[in-house]
Amino acid sequence: MYGDLFIADVPIKLANIFIYLFCEELVLYNMKQIMEGRGENSLDKISHKTLISEKISEALASVLPIFLLITALCLTVSPVPTDLMLSYLIASVLIVIGMGLFSLGADVAMTPIGTRIGAAITKSRNLPLILIISFVVGITISFTEPDLQVLAGSAPHINKFVLVFTVSVGVGAFLAIAMFRVLTGIKIKWVFIVFYLLIFALAAFADADFLGISFDSGGVTTGPMTVPFILAIGVGVSNIRSDKAAEEDSFGFVGLCSVGPILAVLILGFIYKGTGAHAANEVLGQWSNTAELSMAYLRAFPRQLIEVSGALAPITVIFIIFQLFYLKLPFRGFVKIFLGLIYTYVGLVLFLVGVNVGFTSLGKAIGTLFTQGWIRNLLVPVSMLMGWNIISAEPAVVVLEKQIEEVSSGAIPGRAIRISLSIAVSLAMGFSVIRVISGISILWFLVPGYAIALLLTFFVPDIFTAIAFDSGGVASGPMTATLMLHFVMGVSAGFGGNIIRDAFGVVALVAMMPLITIQALGVIYNKQKISSETVPESDFGDTEVIELWG
């Protein structure tokens, strides 16, 4: 009898030990982060400002510009129903908290996992094994990417599972190609040139209903789940190399993983004829009282809990497998990463609930309102202003900025990257609205845009080319896939256009424009570097007189 009680008590004791160590690691991690870089009086600040509050404060600063802009629009030129506005306010709170927790989770878990896995598979020196593992990892991490689920659910003419599976295979194939490129030393610009030429050769003969969705797929597949992981894999691979090109090769993985889905969906268009469905005007969220509004959020939580669980489960399983056979981290390190996964999970659930419930309906409502009366004259400038501000609210942008500053040792400032991205997304939104109004094909924007981007690869350092193509994938995250896509869908519906052909493609333009603006920044950077290297330093003697006038 007592033996049975003892055996039954063992799991409880083990659970208590794990919880104790888990909480201890949380306290130690927060104290360590707070202490770093803050001087001798940092202990006085521990009770006032924790790492979580810092991340949430950073998220608030990022979301505040787009929040204030949309609020001003709703209170002035584009009034919306009160229930939509209240839903939007609730969503904004969830998004700020979610972004803060997600950012912390990316630092603690996603980045270390990707870095260690990238280094582990590269150290094996077994090329076939590396490519197979990269292919499987690429499929696994992208299959349940939340951005991809949003886009697949918005495309009525393609079966959701078919689209998600096709895109995931494309990501897996091109993650393997990215690994092959790094290991063989192939210049990244030639890889982009070859595959984009192939893409536009196929696009010239593709079904018009597949054009926008194919290029959009390349943008949304590199979202908040995959970007930290793929970026970290690039760092992990480059860290085991000591050559001069290792720094440059740590970037470009996200950009190449964005190419795969475009190519895969274009090929799908030739063999899959679609369901024949058409995009219908969605019924905007309407709640007669606050109880109905709260129920809308409560119903959204279980759905996002399941979807994010599906997104994190494969990554968790992959990490555990590598931990058992390759990494063999100490228990404390394992607990720290597990804690980071919990932060990531909770943050992403809150973020996606807020975006999907509060931002989707509001975006479409505002887009439709801006097609009516005199206000349509403000449509293009307002859309560009929204594009300028929304990039700061993309959670993966922060991850990219940090990696760029760390790898370049501050030579490429994150602020310059963010300004370049803001310009890019602003122009992309203006072009998207012009395309809806005019009804012209998206190829009239994509072909010259990518031609300019590929031409610039010959005039900038390779690291800027890699960063530019990574930035294109990062910029087209969940905020773009929900708020801006539905804003353009509302504009298309207001003008009576074809939503499938006119609205889809906005994510593609958002993903394309950073290729130009970031590389333009690279041209400026390169000229400044050359001029600083060519200016001779004068060597004056101690007794020489220096003339300061002509």
pLDDT digits (tens, 9 = 90+) for 212-252: 888 888 888 877 667 777 877 777 777 666 566 666 677 88
Categorize the per-residue pLDDT at 21 as very low, low, confident or very high, splitting at 50, 70 and 90.
very low
User: Which of 223-227, 442-446, 494-498, 499-503 ranks highest by mean pLDDT?
Assistant: 442-446
pLDDT of 175 > 50? The answer is yes
Counted residue by residue, the chain has a size of: 550
d(CA 382, CA 366): 11
Average pLDDT rounded to a whole number, residues 493-499? 84
**What pLDDT score was predicted for residue 283?**
45
Write phi, then psi, for 244 (nearest 5 degrees): -65, -25
d(CA 402, CA 60): 18
Q: Rg of the chain's alpha carbons, rounded to an integer?
A: 25
Judge whether residue 96 has pLDDT over 70: yes
Burial zone of 136 (CB within 10 Å; 0-12 exposed, 13-18 middle, 19+ buried):
middle
pLDDT of 2 > 70? The answer is: no
Report the alpha-carbon distance of residue 224 to residue 394 in Å, rounded. 8
Inform me whether the pLDDT recorded for 16 exceeds 60: no
Is pLDDT above 90 for 198? yes
Per-residue model confidence (pLDDT) at position 245: 64
* pTM for this predicted structure: 0.74
User: Which one-letter amino acid corresponds to residue 24?
Assistant: E
pLDDT score recorded for residue 247: 64
In angstroms, rounded to a whole number, what is the distance separating the alpha carbons of residues 74 and 240?
Answer: 52
pLDDT at 526 over 80: no
How far apart (Å, rounded) are the C-alpha atoms in residues 506 and 209?
Answer: 14
Residue-level pLDDT at 114: 81
Quick count: other Cβ atoms within 10 Å of Cβ 277? 12
End-to-end CA distance of the chain: 103
Query: Is residue 536 scored above 80 in pLDDT?
Result: no
Q: How many CA atoms lie within 13 A of 85 on its CB side?
A: 13
- Of 44-48, 118-122, 321-325, 516-520, highest mean pLDDT: 516-520
pLDDT of residue 265: 92
- Return the pLDDT at 429: 92
Type and span of the H or E element at 393: none
Note the pLDDT of residue 28. Answer: 46
State how far the Cα of 284 lies from the Cα of 366, in Å rounded to an integer.
11
pLDDT for 171 equals: 92
Q: Are 262 and 217 contacting, i.e. CB atoms less than 8 angstroms apart?
A: yes
* CA max distance for the chain: 103
- Mean pLDDT, to the nearest integer, of 322-350? 87
- Mean pLDDT for 331-350 is 88
Separation CA 20–CA 527 (nearest Å): 56
**Phi and psi based region of residue 81 (left: phi greater than 0; alpha: psi -120 to 50; beta: remaining):** beta
Dig out the tokens for 334 from the structure.
């394992």
Structure confidence at residue 271 (pLDDT): 86
Region of 413 (left: φ > 0; alpha: ψ -120 to 50; beta: rest) is: beta
Tokens in use for 258?
A: 């964005």
Taking phi first (over 0 means left), then psi (-120 to 50 degrees means alpha), and beta for anything else, what does residue 274 get? left
432-446 pLDDT tens trace = 999 998 888 888 999
Query: Which of 62-71, 422-431, 472-481 is predicted with the least confidence, judged by mean pLDDT?
Result: 472-481
pLDDT in tens, 351-386: 889 888 888 888 888 998 998 888 889 999 999 999
pLDDT (0 to 100) of residue 37: 43
Q: Which residue has the tokens 């560009």?
A: 384
Mean pLDDT of the chain: 79
pLDDT in tens, 246-302: 666 778 888 888 899 999 999 998 888 765 555 444 445 567 778 888 888 999 899
Least confident of 184-193, 393-402, 488-497, 517-526: 393-402
pLDDT range class, residue 108, cuts 50, 70, 90: confident
Q: What number is the average pLDDT over the span 172-199?
A: 90
Shortest CA distance to 197 belongs to which of 250, 109, 263?
Answer: 263
All residues at 6 or more sequence positions from 268 whose CB lies less than 8 Å from its CB, including other chains: 158, 162, 163, 166, 210, 214
Q: Residue 1 has what pLDDT?
A: 43
